[in-house]
Amino acid sequence: SVICSNYMENQNNVTEFVLLGLFMNKEMKIICFAFFLLCYFAIFLGNFIIFVTITYSHLIQQPMYYFLCHLSLMDLAYTSTIIPRLIRDLAAKRKTISYNGCMTQLFSAHLLGGVEMFILVSMAFDRYIAICKPLHYMVIVNRRRCNMLILVAWAVVFWHSIAQLLMVLKLPFCGSNHIDHYICDVKPLLKLVCGDTHVVSILVIANNGMVCLITFLVLVASYVVILYHIRMHSTEGRHKALSTCGSHIMVVVLFFVPCIYAYVPPPSANNNEKEFSVLYTVIAPMLNPLIYTLRNTEMKSAMRKVWYRKI
C-alpha cells in the first residue's frame, strides 16, 4: 500500500532531465560539435539528392528505388529527431530536456527508426523476388503491394512505439534526473527509475532487442538464399546481383549490429551503449547515400540526367 501511495507522487517528481552527452572533455566536445555538424549536413544533402533523383526520374517506377526513396525520407526524419539536439547540447552549458520533450523524442526516434527497419526488410524482399523468382517479379512486387508494405510498417511500428511510450510513462522517476546518454532512450531512462525494473527490463529486451535480432536474422537468411541462387546465373548476372545485394548487406550490418549490441543486453550492463548507438543514429544514415549511389550505376546515371537538366 505504501508503494502504491508513493507511486503517483513519485511519478511526477521529475519535470526535466539532464542529458550527460557523449563526452565531458571540453576539447572533445568542440571536435564532436564540428564532426556531427558535418555528418548532419552530409545526411541532409545526400538523402535529399537521392530523394529528388528518384522522384524526378524513371527509377520511381521500380520497386527497389521506390523503397530507397522512402528510406531516404526516413533517414532524414530519424536523424532530425536526434542530431540537432546532440549538436545543440555539445555547445550548450545546460543540457536539459523537459519531461514531455524527452517522451516525444523517445516516441519519434523509435517510430521512425522502426519504420526504417521495415523498409530494409521490404528491400530485401524485393531483391529476393527479383533474383529468385524473376518471371513472377512484376506480378508479386507491384506498386499496390509496395504501398501495402509501407503502410503495414507504419501501423506495426506505431503500435510498438505507443506501447513502449505508455510503459515508460507509468514508470516512477523520483531520484536523479541525469540521463547517461545523448538522447532520451528507454534503457538509460530505466536506470533513473526508483523501484524494481526487472519486469520492465525484460519487456524492453523483448520489445526492442529481440525485434532487432530477429529482423537481422531474417535479413541475413534472405541474403544467404539470394547468394545461393545467384551461383547459377551468368557471370554478368552474378556481378549485378552481388553489387546490388552488397549495398543492402552493408546498410543492414551498419544499422542492425550496433542496434543489437545496444538493446539486447540488460539495462544494468555497462556496455558503452551510447558510444555504439552513434553508429546507427549518425554513421549508418550518413553512409546510406554513399553506399547506394557510388555502388549503383543506375543511380549515378539518373543523377547525371536529373541534376544536369535542373542546372
The yes or no reply on domain 25-297 and CATH 1.20.120.450 is: no
pLDDT at 82: 93
- Tell me the range of 107-121, 186-200, 288-302 where mean pLDDT is highest: 107-121
Burial group, residue 159, by CB count within 10 angstroms (0-12, 13-18, 19+): exposed
pLDDT tier at 291 (50, 70, 90 boundaries)? Answer: confident
The domain segmentation of the chain, as residue ranges, is 25-297
pLDDT tier at 8 (50, 70, 90 boundaries)? Answer: very low
- The closest of 202, 173, 206 to 189, measured between CA atoms, is 173
pLDDT at 273: 75
CB 53 within 8 A of CB 302: yes
Q: Is the pLDDT of residue 111 over 90?
A: yes
pLDDT tens readout for residues 126-179: 988 888 888 888 889 999 999 999 999 999 999 999 988 998 888 888 777 888
pLDDT tens readout for residues 57-95: 888 999 989 999 999 999 999 999 999 999 998 888 788
CB 120 within 8 A of CB 248: yes
d(CA 129, CA 138): 9
Lowest mean per-residue pLDDT among 55-59, 222-226, 243-247: 243-247
* Verdict on whether the full-model pTM lies above 0.75: yes
d(CA 241, CA 129): 12
Q: Which three cell numbers stand for residue 155?
A: 501501423
Span 46-54, mean pLDDT? 91
Distances in Å between the Cα of 205 and the Cα atoms of 103, 104, 108, 159, 274 are 19, 21, 19, 17, 16
